[in-house]
Chains A and B, each alone.
Chain A
Amino acid sequence: MHVEADLPGRVRAGLTAEAGEVLVVIGPNGAGKSSLMRVIAGLEPGRVVVDGRDWSDLAVPERRVGYVFQDQSLFPHLSALDNVAFGPRARGRARRDADRTAREWLERFGIGDLAERRPRELSGGQAQRVAIARALATEPDVLLLDEPFAGLDVSAQMALRIELGRHLRDFPGVALLVTHDAIDALTLADRVLVLDEGRVAQVGPPAEVAAEPRTPHVARLVGLNLVAVAEGEQLIAFPPDAVVVSLHEPEGSTRLRWHGQVASLAPHGDAVRLLVHASPDLLADLTPAAATELGLVPGREVWLSAKATAVSRYAARG
């Protein structure tokens, strides 16, 4: 499936996905992630072409998309079962038939016993399961999940993430999932699509995107330093623990060195993580002992250099 979406000033993206594929969409706030989803679903006006067919003038109900909203948006006056049966019934299925389908979906999500409950009687995780089941019950060609784990507590997120992964593997259509969380991308994605300023900055398998990020946002998500070199033609990425911190300009011929002020220090596992305002901002991990010995405090001028062996270098564009 090939999708082109265009909402002037907000997002302009093309993506290709195989049937059954899960694309996780990441990017900073304002990158156009939600806009992309909303344009595809028809919730915002914009040009959408799916497999060469122009959807732009199709009303929302005529598009074969399922949408899972950030706040579960379950109909408060309907039971969990009626919420899930709503889609099949709206698409013309008989009531008994729709109810049976809905019950099957609730069973698949392990919440068949909650069928008669109203949304306010469900926990956040249960409600989001109902919402996902409701979107899947309409058998959409495209499933759009807009930060489906937002607002859930960590353990509920964890459980739902694992479960969602299982359902997405069975889902025959294309799934697009917007997230802020690198772990969603790494665990759920067949491929990751990175949006930046409304454009597709990078597409690839999660491991590849994590190892060779092309945007500062993704680098930060996966905890890598990212520096543009060779007039912006190339990027180098290296982990914070491959950075050497010193108070004086390092000797030797290495060109991978930067000068700047310590912006903050924070514990990071067993280490101390330093944020240094260089150009660009860089992270460095060092032992607490080393941090004390160097007398590091915010505002201190330091030199950073990267161990050449830990640096990966790649083209800035795919």
Chain B
Amino acid sequence: MTGPRLGRAPTVLLVPAAIGVALLVVPLATLVLDTPWRTLPDHLGSEVVREALGITALSSLLTVVGCVVLGTPLAWLLARVDFRGRGVVRALVLVPLVLPPVVAGVALVTALGRSGLVGQHLPFSIPYTLSGVVLAHTFVSLPFYVLAVEGALRTHGTAYDVVAATLGADRWTAFRRVTLPLALPGILAGSALAWARSLGEFGATITFAGNYPGTTQTMPSLIYVALNSDPAVARTLSLLLLVLSVAVLVLLRERWAVAR
């Protein structure tokens, strides 16, 4: 360590810090240690697991697409257009960040369920379908994406937009050719965050879309039911999600380390 010598770190701070680390690390470490490595290929190969994996992969991918398509313009609006009620819109967009996922699920049912306020007028049914899964995931992931992209848009400020305007570019041209490319790191980071959030989504999904193998059963939902019937499978799948989550973290750290 460099810097001035200020004396030993006080025990009263070290002990709680160590307990905190243990609290975070011990469960994850035992998850890794307790993984039934020998049966792992069989578990991953079973049909119900493969289906859940496929649904998770597809729904998380579609969620990222949904976030990019809806979230990028939304982040731009919040970062670049000075309109009345911008603060209110931003606050509303961020609500799902702090909302218990199960409440999100109930809210989605209330709005888009078969007898929901909006849902009863729709010619098709959303709950208990893959689109319901994607919708629930997008609902909870979008704030992460919007936050990351709005942050990226604000880092560069409006200076380059102004330059583009003096060169004759309308706002759409400036968005396409200047704003968007410069915000690309933020878009990638936001996508990774949204993907990670979608990967682990459980509460809102199971409430809104149910837990039907082959249709709406994602990895977390499968883990939840497997923990009662076959704990070894649950641990194997949990390990898989752990690895994917850590991979996202590493990816983002590198991204951010480059940005700094």
Whether the Cβ atoms of B182 and A86 lie closer than 8 Å is no
**Cα of A196 to Cα of B178 in the assembled complex, Å:** 37
Are B167 and A90 neighbours in the complex by a CB distance under 8 Å? yes
Q: How far is the CA of A86 from the CA of B177 in the complex (A)?
A: 9
| CB nearest to B169 among chain A residues | A90
Question: Given known contacts A42-B165, A75-B163, A75-B164, what 4 new A-B pairs fall within 8 Å (CB)?
Answer: A61-B169, A67-B166, A75-B160, A91-B168
**Inside 8 A of B39's CB, which chain A residues have their CB?**
none
Question: Which A76-103 residues have C-beta < 8 A from chain B?
Answer: 76-77, 86-87, 90-91
Can you list 28 residue pairs at the A/B interface with Cβ under 8 Å? A42-B165, A43-B162, A43-B166, A60-B162, A60-B165, A61-B165, A61-B166, A61-B167, A66-B166, A66-B167, A67-B163, A73-B160, A73-B163, A75-B160, A75-B163, A75-B164, A75-B178, A77-B181, A87-B168, A90-B164, A90-B167, A90-B168, A90-B170, A91-B168, A134-B167, A135-B166, A135-B167, A138-B167
A109 within 8 A of partner (CB): no
Residues of A within 8 A of B177 (CB): 86, 90
Q: In the bound complex, how far is the Cα of B165 from the Cα of A38, in angstroms? A: 12
How many Å lie between the Cα of A107 and that of B178 in the bound state? 25
Contacting residues, chain A, for B163 (C-beta < 8 A): 67, 69, 73, 75
Q: Closest CB-CB distance, B91 to chain A, in whole Å?
A: 29
| Residues of chain B within 8 A of A59, CB atoms compared | 165, 170
- B182 and A76 within 8 A (CB): yes
Question: Is B155 close to A, CB under 8 A?
Answer: no
User: Which residues in B have their C-beta under 8 angstroms from that of A87?
Assistant: 167-168
List chain B residues, Cβ under 8 A from A75.
160, 163-164, 178, 182
- One digit per residue, 1 when the CB lies within 8 angstroms of any chain A CB and 0 when it does not, for chain B 160-196 equals 1011111111100100011001100000000000000
Q: Contacting A73 at CB < 8 Å: which of B159, B168, B181, B182?
A: B159
Q: CA separation between A130 and B173, bound complex, in Å?
A: 21
Docked CA distance A246–B36 (Å): 101
Residues of A within 8 A of B168 (CB): 61, 87, 90-91, 138
Q: Scoring A residues 51 to 79 as 1 if CB is less than 8 Å from chain B, else 0, what string do you get?
A: 00000000111000111010001011100
- B181, closest chain A residue (CB): A77
Q: Tell me, rounded to whole Å, the shortest Cβ–Cβ distance linking A223 to chain B.
A: 36
Residue A178 interfacial (CB < 8 Å) = no
Q: Is residue A192 contacting chain B, with contact meaning CB distance below 8 A?
A: no
Task: Report Cα–Cα, A61/B168, bound state, in Å.
Answer: 4
Residues of A within 8 A of B164 (CB): 75, 86, 90
Interface size class of B (residues with CB under 8 A): 10 to 19
Across the interface, which residues of B come within 8 angstroms of A69, CB to CB?
A: 163
Please give, as numbers and ranges, the residues of chain A lying within 8 Å of B167 by CB-CB distance: 61, 66, 86-87, 90-91, 134-135, 138
The residue in B164, B165, B167, B177 that gathers the most chain A C-beta atoms within 10 A of its C-beta is: B167
In the complex, chain B residues whose CB is within 8 Å of the CB of A76: 182
Closest 8 A/B residue pairs (Cβ): A87-B167, A90-B169, A60-B165, A67-B166, A91-B168, A90-B168, A77-B181, A73-B163
Q: How many residues of A contact B (CB 8 A)?
A: 21
How long is the Cα–Cα vector from A114 to B166 in the complex, in angstroms?
23
Chain A residues with Cβ below 8 Å from B162 are: 43, 60
With a CB–CB cut-off of 8 A, which chain A residues contact B173?
Answer: 90
List, in ascending order, chain A residues with CB within 8 A of B166's CB. Answer: 41, 43, 60-61, 65-67, 135
Chain A residue at smallest Cβ distance from B174: A90
CB contacts (< 8 Å) of B165 on chain A: these are 42, 59-61
Give Cα A59 to B162, complex, Å.
11
Min CB–CB distance B180 → chain A (angstroms): 10
The answer to whether B160 touches A61, judged by C-beta atoms less than 8 angstroms apart, is: no
Bound form: Cα–Cα A43–B162 in Å: 7
In the complex, A99 Cα to B177 Cα: how many Å? Answer: 15
* Closest A residue, CB atoms, query B180: A77
A72: nearest chain-B partner, CB-CB: B163
In the complex, chain B residues whose CB is within 8 Å of the CB of A86: 164, 167, 169, 177
CB of B49, distance to nearest CB on chain A (Å): 43
Residues of A within 8 A of B178 (CB): 75, 77
Shortest distance between the CB of A163 and any CB in chain B (Å): 21
**CB of A148, distance to nearest CB on chain B (Å):** 14
Tell me the minimal C-beta distance from A315 to chain B in angstroms.
39
Query: Which residue of A has the minimal Cβ distance to B160?
Result: A75
Smallest CB–CB gap between B259 and chain A, Å?
13
**Set of chain B residues within 8 Å of A138, measured between Cβ atoms:** 167-168
The proximity string for B residues 128-164 relative to A, scoring 1 for CB distances below 8 Å and 0 otherwise, is 0000000000000000000000000000000110111
Chain B minimum-CB-distance residue to A73: B163
CA distance A59 to B166 in the complex (A): 10
What's the Cα separation between A220 and B164 when bound, in Å?
A: 37
Residue of B nearest to A86 (CB): B167
* Complex CA–CA separation, A314 to B178 (angstroms): 53
- Report Cα–Cα, A186/B80, bound state, in Å: 41
Q: From A90, which residue of chain B is reached at the shortest CB distance?
A: B169
Chain B residues with CB under 8 Å of A73's CB are 159-160, 163
Note all chain B residues with C-beta closer than 8 A to A91: 167-168
Q: Which residues of B contact A41 (CB under 8 A)?
A: 166
> A86 to B178, alpha carbons, bound, how many Å?
10
Chain A residues with CB under 8 Å of B182's CB are 75-77
Closest A residue to B163 by CB, please name it: A73
